[in-house]
Amino acid sequence: MSKPAIGFIGLGAMGFGMATHLLKEGYPVVGFDVWGPTLDRFKAAGGQTATTPGQAVKGCEFCICMVASAPQAQSALFETDDAAIKSLPKGSTLLLASTVPSAYATSVQTQLAALSRSDILFIDCPVSGGTARAATGELTIMAGGSDAALKHGHALLMDLTAPDKLFIVKGGIGAGSNMKMVHQVLAGAHVTAAGEALGFAARLGLDPKKTYELVTKEGCESWSWMFENRMARALTAEYKPAASALTIMLKDLGIITSTGRLSQFPTPLSAIAEQLFLSGVSLGWAGDDDSSMVRLYYPDALAAVQASSTSKLSEAERQQLVLDLLSAVHLVTAAEALAFTHALGLDVQQYFTLCADAAGASWSFRAHGPEIMALLTGTPSSVPAPDKVSLDARIDALSKVLVEAKNVGCPIYLGSEAMSALSLARRRVGGSVGEVKGLITGFWAAK
């Protein structure tokens, strides 16, 4: 059976992989991008190309929009000369796969109605997983929309992902975008923490490659997907071309903090990560791969690290500090992410399942997630929690990190922010309580 035609708008790092994967799956795909050379590459990969969004989608049963931001989507879909919506056939389906504020996804629905184009079925379906998974059809997809739209788009969505990676998010249009946003709370803090920890390791005179191996070793409690994925590249100090540019994560962090403000929900780790990305952009790194954020902490190439350091600690003690930094930040991030998800009315269990095996994953998230969810929802967890660490013990370990980082002249922004959250929690609930319970009841709880 022949596959339906797809107009694909936005052939960037992610879009190009998705569109060429669809070609391999047998779809006729007409690609559009504002960057000419990309169109030539897409043609060479077997695709057809168009010079306007309208031309790309003409006669297509599906339109996938995978541009970098809401303003770009607004332009391509509605505002540019020969925008896509005018040319979309009656009854076709529009999939908005870009990461956008949920309020923008909702506005697309409204604009379709205002243009009397409610015949177009609309799916709000941001993705996660990076360029490699985009090209192999293994992305995590968070899809929201009407039953009719999800039914029409189901086969196509399934061809972009694996069966257990397609998450139908309850709540209609906007819910998929909100789910992606809260996924990025994890991804954004983890990528920043990864650079902070590896830069700290370098300042401590530790071999960054050995540190990388330690953190990515099976079962390491300081592991995150972002650390494993991004810091492999940081070791090479080759930051162009970007697999994911600073501007992409900066945009996602901005969606988180602005939605947090609108939702009256504090997101301190995301907020500090956003400022750090802004600093990176102001240093001229906008288009560099976000693994390069390690340079905020250690400006030279990591391969050039000398074993000498002003630290008087043993190598094992220094390694432990790096591990303790990561696990403390990951713990507070897990609390921020799940508490925000819950506050937005999303299904925390679905969120947990989604993130535990996506780019937002960390050992801490997987291990502590069930207890955090139980505290947030009031439903006891049946999953055994790892050995309890008290707030005091966590604070003591993180204190040692901050003291030694100062000795070796390394700033520790996320670790310091995590410390502020842990300290406030301790002030409210005491230090002998378990760290997870302490954080949720002492910091994130509304009262």
Binding mask 397-416 for its own copies (x = CB under 8 A): --x--xx-xx--xxxxx--x
271 binds its own copies (CB under 8 A): yes
260/283 Cα distance (integer angstroms)? 27
Angle, CA of 335, 439 and 401, to the nearest 5° = 90
Piece of the chain touching its own copies by CB under 8 A; list 91-99, 255-263, 308-316, 374-382: 255-263
432 binds its own copies (CB under 8 A): no
* Inter-CA distances, 220 with 36, 166, 186, 310, 390, Å: 45, 28, 18, 27, 20
For residue 429, the tally of other CB atoms under 10 A from its CB is: 19
Q: Least CB distance from residue 185 to its own copies, whole Å? A: 14
Total of residues contacting its own copies (CB under 8 A): 45
226 within 8 A of 190, measured Cβ to Cβ: yes
Q: Least CB distance from residue 182 to its own copies, whole Å? A: 16
67 binds its own copies (CB under 8 A): no
Q: Which is closer to its own copies, CB of 134 or CB of 198?
A: 198
At residue 161, the 3 state secondary structure works out as strand
Residue 180 falls in the annotated catalytic set:
yes
Q: Least CB distance from residue 429 to its own copies, whole Å? A: 9
* Inter-CA distances, 196 with 191, 299, 306, 321, 345, Å: 9, 12, 18, 12, 32
* Inter-CA distances, 265 with 73, 82, 337, Å: 27, 40, 11
Options 128, 229, 259, 267; binder of its own copies; rule CB under 8 A: 267
Using a 10 angstrom Cβ sphere, with 0-12 exposed, 13-18 middle and 19 or more buried, the burial of residue 163 is exposed
395 binds its own copies (CB under 8 A): yes
Piece of the chain touching its own copies by CB under 8 A; list 28-36, 254-262, 313-321, 378-386: 254-262
Piece of the chain touching its own copies by CB under 8 A; list 123-131, 205-213, 235-243, 253-261: 253-261
Q: Which is closer to its own copies, CB of 361 or CB of 418?
A: 418
Q: Which is closer to its own copies, CB of 246 or CB of 323?
A: 246
Please name which of 350, 352, 1, 359 lies closest in space to residue 155, comparing C-alpha atoms.
1
**Of residues 165, 180, 251, 437, which has the active-site annotation?**
180
Q: Phi and psi for 25 in degrees, rounded to 5? A: -80, 0
* 3-state SS record for 328-366: HHHHHHHHHHHHHHHHCCCCHHHHHHHHCCCCCCEHHHH
Task: Kindly state the DSSP code that residue 434 receives in the 8-state scheme.
Answer: B
Q: Which is closer to its own copies, CB of 9 or CB of 422?
A: 422
Options 12, 174, 260, 438; binder of its own copies; rule CB under 8 A: 260
310 binds its own copies (CB under 8 A): no
> How many angstroms separate the first and last alpha carbons of the chain?
58
Binding residues for its own copies, rule: CB under 8 A, are 254, 257-258, 260-261, 264-268, 271-272, 274-276, 278-279, 281-282, 296, 299, 395, 399, 402-403, 405-406, 409-413, 416-417, 419-420, 423-424, 426-428, 431, 443, 446-447
Which residues are catalytic, by number? 180
